[in-house]
Amino acid sequence: MTDQPGSPEPAAGGGLPGTPATEQPAPTPVPAPVPAPAPATELSAPTPAPEQVLAPAPAEPEQTAVHEPSAPAEVTQAQTEVAQTEVAQAQTGVTEAEVAQVQAEVTEAQTEVTEAQAETTQAQTPESESPAPAPAPAQETVRLSMPHTAPLLPEPTPVTQTEDDARQALVRVRDEVAKAVVGQEATVSGLVLALLCRGHVLLEGVPGVAKTLLVRALSAALDLDTARVQFTPDLMPGDVTGSLVYDARTARFSFREGPVFTNLLLADEINRTPPKTQASLLEAMQERQVSVDGRPLPLPDPFLVIATQNPVEYEGTYPLPEAQLDRFLLKLTVPLPPREVELKVLARHAEGFDPQNLAAAGIRPVATAQDLAAAAAGVRRVDISEAVMGYIVDVVRATRTSPSLSLGVSPRGAAALLATCRAWAWLSGRDYVTPDDVKALARPTLRHRMQLRPEAELEGTTTEKVLDTVLATVPVPR
């Protein structure tokens, strides 16, 4: 009988396996049921006990048979040898890929067991305690999260606005504002001109002439973002433009935008705040941006500042500097209404008009940013002759040589007068500018850009009177 290495066979009578027959003496019966086997020639590691052999592979059927207490000693010893051989092969021949595959299968099996346990628990829960299925909230959650994801369908192409549509929309804006403010048609027209020119407006009037109500009604008639800032003595520049805020979670400073990041900004009582806060609007009004930590942040388009101030009460106020006054496109005075208009105002209040509830007055948005963009494009196509441009330059230069003025109109004022004249011509349905347009818009465009001499103020001279004299002396082109 020849022995093959690695294939030990049990001798007759239950001898020890793994010893060649030529060297083995006569077989002797083993009294113990499971003797300790000798180490096989193929294994380099010590042979573990039967319980340790079965631990790495509990799913093998041959290993589970070893634990049967009723099996004979010979069968048990033979199966132990087979298990030892398989373990040795597993220790020497298993690759990492096979181990990863086995781990994945174990994980999947654990997941299935967890789901089965959850289903069993749910099935065992009484109907009175188990919550009813609610598919509707899940669908609602999906709908609520959709605006934060990319749209599944392409966005609709915006409708192209024509000049006539934009003009009619701006006319409707004046009609909507008239639902809340009575007898201020000239002021409303000036605000519409500022919208066309992308310019800023300074409203000046005594208390109680509906300056703030006028701006609120205009914002309600426009489909634009609006913000209001009540300028007070303790207002800081960061309260207007925004400020850097430290975020403890990220250990960084983040910029928190101020109310200036809007389309229409109402600066109420702007002359009641210190000059440093007034100066925070200089860059925003001229450059239409806010510089934060050396980086310019653009403002929304369009951007319009409408500021109000009281010309009567000067105690506790800070007059605007000339550099900031020059940044306003128009200075509109809100006069006291005549008797007939004031009767209409009282009649509306008697009928239940509430200035704080503009929605009840029926004011609705009738113009959008697309309308303003189409209107601005139409204004740029309005023609102006060289003679009319020369007339504008002569009027501006005449203010610089007036003996009653210490400061005349700057070239920026001349460009502003040109822009307002073209906007008024377009709004009137014309594609050209006339000298009468220059005369009509010279006062609201230039009155705040001039500074009187002290002796002229003592004599009662005003900038309006100076402009009347200039317009009467400068030759009008034919």
Calpha distance 96→99 (Å, rounded): 5
pLDDT score for 79: 56
pLDDT tens, 250-275? 888 889 999 999 999 999 999 999 99
Mean pLDDT of 115-143: 50
Work out the percent of the chain whose per-residue pLDDT is above 70. 69
pLDDT score for 111: 76
pLDDT band (50, 70, 90) for residue 312:
confident
Q: Select the more confidently predicted residue: 221 or 12.
A: 221
To which residue do tokens 């400020």 refer? 243
pLDDT band (50, 70, 90) for residue 361:
confident
Query: Is the per-residue pLDDT at 55 higher than 80?
Result: no
Calpha distance 265→222 (Å, rounded): 13
pLDDT score for 427: 92
Average pLDDT in the chain: 77
- Last residue within a domain, chosen from 343, 370, 397: 370
pLDDT band (50, 70, 90) for residue 161:
low
Query: Is the per-residue pLDDT at 2 higher than 60?
Result: no
- Last residue within a domain, chosen from 96, 122, 149: 96
Residue 414, both tokens: 């001349």
pLDDT score for 105: 75
- Whether 144 maps to a domain, the answer reads no
pLDDT score for 80: 55
Contact 332, 444 (CB under 8 A): yes
* In a shared domain, residues 330 and 423: no
Listed range (7-11, 202-206, 239-243) with the worst mean pLDDT: 7-11
Query: Is the per-residue pLDDT at 99 higher than 80?
Result: no
To which residue do tokens 């900004």 refer? 265
pLDDT score for 31: 45
Query: Is the per-residue pLDDT at 113 higher than 60?
Result: yes
Q: What are phi and psi of 353, to 5 degrees?
A: -70, 130
Three-state secondary structure call for residue 280: helix
Q: Choose among 183, 470, 475, 473: nearest CA to 345.
A: 183
Give DSSP secondary structure letters for 335-370: PPP-HHHHHHHHHHHHTT--TT-TTTTT----B-HH
Strand 451-452 and strand 405-407: the pairing is: antiparallel
* In a shared domain, residues 300 and 202: yes
* In a shared domain, residues 342 and 401: no
Instruction: Report the CATH number that the domain containing residue 418 is assigned in CATH.
Output: 1.10.8.80
pLDDT score for 52: 41
- Whether 112 maps to a domain, the answer reads no
* In a shared domain, residues 277 and 356: yes
Mean pLDDT of 404-422: 95
Residue 324, both tokens: 């900031």
Q: How far is CA 201 from CA 44, 95, 285, 414, in A?
A: 95, 80, 11, 16
Query: Is the per-residue pLDDT at 151 higher than 80?
Result: no
pLDDT score for 147: 37
Mean pLDDT of 382-409: 95
* In a shared domain, residues 312 and 250: yes
Tally of domains in the chain = 3
Instruction: Report the CATH number that the domain containing residue 273 is assigned in CATH.
Output: 3.40.50.300
Mean pLDDT of 383-395: 96
pLDDT score for 119: 67
Query: Is the per-residue pLDDT at 396 higher than 80?
Result: yes
Residue 59, both tokens: 């799913």
Name residue 324's amino acid: Q
Domain coverage including residue 448: 382-478
Query: Is the per-residue pLDDT at 153 higher than 70?
Result: no
Mean pLDDT of 91-117: 67
* In a shared domain, residues 344 and 474: no
To which residue do tokens 């300028």 refer? 231
* In a shared domain, residues 321 and 437: no
Contact 79, 65 (CB under 8 A): yes
Contact 376, 451 (CB under 8 A): no
Mean pLDDT of 226-234: 92
Q: Select the more confidently predicted residue: 405 or 20.
A: 405
Considering the entire predicted model, what is its pTM?
A: 0.64
- Last residue within a domain, chosen from 370, 400, 433: 370
End-to-end CA distance of the chain: 137
* In a shared domain, residues 230 and 361: yes
pLDDT score for 27: 46
Q: Choose among 477, 452, 476: nearest CA to 464.
A: 452
Q: How far is CA 70 from CA 59, 62, 66, 97, 266, in A?
A: 21, 15, 10, 39, 97
* In a shared domain, residues 219 and 324: yes
* In a shared domain, residues 350 and 408: no
pLDDT tens, 272-303? 999 999 999 999 999 999 998 888 999 998 89
* Cross-strand partners of 242: 257
Q: How far is CA 122 from CA 115, 130, 131, 135, 136, in A?
A: 11, 8, 10, 17, 20
pLDDT band (50, 70, 90) for residue 358:
confident
pLDDT score for 110: 74
pLDDT band (50, 70, 90) for residue 397:
very high
pLDDT score for 95: 56
pLDDT tens, 203-222? 999 988 989 899 999 989 99
Strand 264-268 and strand 304-309: the pairing is: parallel
Query: Is the per-residue pLDDT at 71 higher than 50?
Result: no
Residue 16, both tokens: 């020890």
Q: Choose among 243, 177, 235: nearest CA to 211.
A: 177
290: left (phi over 0), alpha (psi -120 to 50) or beta: beta
